[in-house]
Chain A
Amino acid sequence: MVEASRPGASTTLLPRQRPVMSDTPLLQIQGITKAFGSVQALDDVDLEVRPGEVVAIVGDNGAGKSTLVKCIAGTHTADSGRILFEGQEVHIHGPKDAGRLGIEVVYQDLALCDNLDVVQNMYLGRELNRGQILSEAPMEQHTTETLKSLAVTTIKSVRQTVATLSGGQRQSVAVARAVMWNSKLVVLDEPTAALGVAQTEQVLALVRRLGQQGLGVILISHNLHDVFETADRIAVLRLGRNVGVFERLKTTQQAVVEAITAGKPTKVAGIPSAAPAGAGA
């Protein structure tokens, strides 16, 4: 039952710190296309994430954000296009495949079991056991260490049920669980959608910390405030197409909003990256 990615190696997150923003891309998506019947959900989409980089994917409803995430997670298989992970082409056919590569997805509606405690949730589906008997002690220790390494300090006891945690704490547990499994790329789907102001700050700080620890992070969000707080780069999708990638430090919220609402596909004329940043004001 013990899987290839043991948590022992990953619980000490700090030594893993890599030089932030390495040049070899962690994830490269090239020309992904996906249609559901006559609906073109993704049309020739590119995306690149480097280690230690937080890339936000923004776009209006129906822009294809969720579909893109599902292609990365292996829930959907793209009709055409390539996915490269650490420079090698990969075919992801399900969450297990994604997990094996080091890709973890934290879903919007929090895949936690309310009736189980923090430790039980962190190890859900990947319990440590000898024979079939649960090894509670190492699970509890690794959970405590992982939360500490991510500076998630507001949770009083790792043995309280998740039902008793606040929204921000629950989201932190979900993120910590994704990180614990030796993951290299963490995909966060609307991590702050249901949170209050203070709790949102808590989660955004956690997202930044993931980047600082050398992980690649994809952040899906509606909320441009969150995006500008955390992301290094912002990829905008509109109607299933790339309409621009912005460096956070070189752009404005207004430029991004314009791209979301009225952006032109960047690859239509074969001229990539006609980013509408300049066309803004």
Chain B
Amino acid sequence: MTSAEVVGPDRAPPLEEEQLPGGFRGAMERARLNLRTGNLGALPIIVGEIAVVILFGFTATNFFTSVNFVNLITESAGTAMLAYGVVFVLLLGEIDLSIGYLAGIGALIVAELQLPGSSWQMNGILAMLVAVAACAVIGGVQGSIVAFVGVPSFVVTLGGFLIWQGVILNKLQQRGTIIIQDRWINYTDAYIFSPTFGWLIAAIFTALYPGSVLYRKIVARGTQIAQQSWTSATLKTIGIGIAAFGTVAVANHGKIIETPEGLPLAGLIVVFFFVVLTFLAKWTTFGRHVYAVGGNAEAARRAGISVPRIRVLVFMISGATAGVGGIIFAAQVNSVALTFPPGNLLLNAIAAAVIGGVSLFGGRGEVRGALLGAILIGTLQNGLNTLNISNGWIYIVTGLVLLGAVTLDTVAVRLQARSGR
């Protein structure tokens, strides 16, 4: 004590955070503190999702069936994929309006490449890789115009929006719908895992979060990033476990005529990208630089970060995830038609990310927000559909939820600012 006082007369409390009591009580206290200071995290959206599921579970007769549940997963999968890309673009404080039709380009490329009888016909898996790579390159080109020439991303990607829409129109107006027969491509939507494999995936997914906590507690022992309490980690793990195992349980439960249902591949693809992109955003140098450029591009530049490089890479990610999403959407209908992309794909993807708490001004948000937002939008639209409510009302409700979520987030941020956190 005395030796510490020698260091300086203006010695403030040591650098460690104030200790809250451990255990369950500590976790509750922390939660209450977070609530009061507006640090809500993913809580509102999870509560919202639960409320929506309960509401539709009681009102819509066909909602709470495993067949519909599997539909819900495959329907949300494409939106979630696009929303992942949106998260990265928004983290930079940019926007990508081209992803809806870029998804269409991805679908068009796989459809062309799998066409039986054509000279370029190739294996479905290879075709998908080529399509996703092509979308990444297109994203990179658009990103380069933003990064090196300095044209606002809104304008560049609005141009992309029109150009890729035009390309799809030109191609499909003369050709008509292209049917996708390749089973690998169609599997991205329709392949159903055996129940056992479904459980295995749920177990692995559930284990990832406590695994990362443990890793930090061992590797970063003694530092503040390792200071998460065991209680909160346990509670979160239980929550993730309920969601993962619950999903697989409901999916495994049903049967379409004689074919048993189960976890669809589309669900696994979405989870896979969720894990990979979360890792990229939170654990790698690249991810750190994305947040830095979004927070203060000038500071990032002065710190020696190549801002144009980060911008181009992010637009490449956005293009690639759009391509993957497009393939999943095409696989859903086993074809690419003039009606592609379905519905309000672009706006749904942006709404999903924004509902998930990603700031439009850059530097704030997480990949999980895109997943949660896409699930919420998917559930709402699916539930209203099963209730036979008109498309008009579905748009109105989606709009209101978007507005509500962003309002809540804005209020929360203001609360945080006031409480100095």
Contact = CB atoms under 8 A, between A and B. Distances in A.
Interface residues of B, number: 41
B420 interface: yes
B413 to A, nearest CB: 11
Interface in A39-91: none
B31 interface: no
A222 interface: no
Contacts of B223: 136-137, 140-141
A157 B15 contact: yes
B241 to A, nearest CB: 26
B220 interface: yes
Nearest to B364: A115
Interface string B252-294: 0000000000000000000000000000000111101101101
A274 interface: no
Interface string B1-38: 00000011011110111100000000000000000000
A264 to B, nearest CB: 36
Contact of A95 (B11, B285, B304): B304
Given A116-B291, A156-B17, A111 B12 contact: no
A132 B216 CA distance: 16
A101 interface: no
Contacts of A134: 283-285, 288
Contacts of B11: 153
A115 B363 CA distance: 6
Interface residues of A, number: 38
Interface in B146-182: none
B10 A153 contact: yes
Interface in B189-246: 216, 219-226
A113 interface: yes
B295 interface: yes
A145 B347 CA distance: 47
Contacts of A125: 289, 292, 300, 303-305
Contacts of B216: 136
A129 interface: yes
Contacts of B226: 137
A154 B216 CA distance: 27
Interface in B78-116: none
Contacts of B8: 151, 153
A124 interface: yes
A72 to B, nearest CB: 15
Interface of A: 1, 95-96, 99, 107, 110-116, 120, 124-127, 129, 132-134, 136-137, 140-141, 144, 147-148, 151, 153-160, 164
Interface of B: 7-8, 10-13, 15-18, 216, 219-226, 283-286, 288-289, 291-292, 294-296, 298-300, 302-305, 363-364, 420-421
Q: Which 3 A-B pairs have the closest CB atoms?
A: A125-B303, A113-B295, A115-B295
17 contacts: A1-B285, A111-B302, A111-B303, A113-B295, A113-B299, A113-B363, A116-B291, A125-B303, A125-B305, A129-B285, A136-B225, A137-B223, A140-B225, A141-B222, A153-B8, A156-B13, A157-B224
Given A134-B285, A137-B219, 9 more contacts: A99-B304, A111-B298, A115-B294, A120-B291, A124-B292, A127-B288, A136-B220, A156-B15, A158-B15
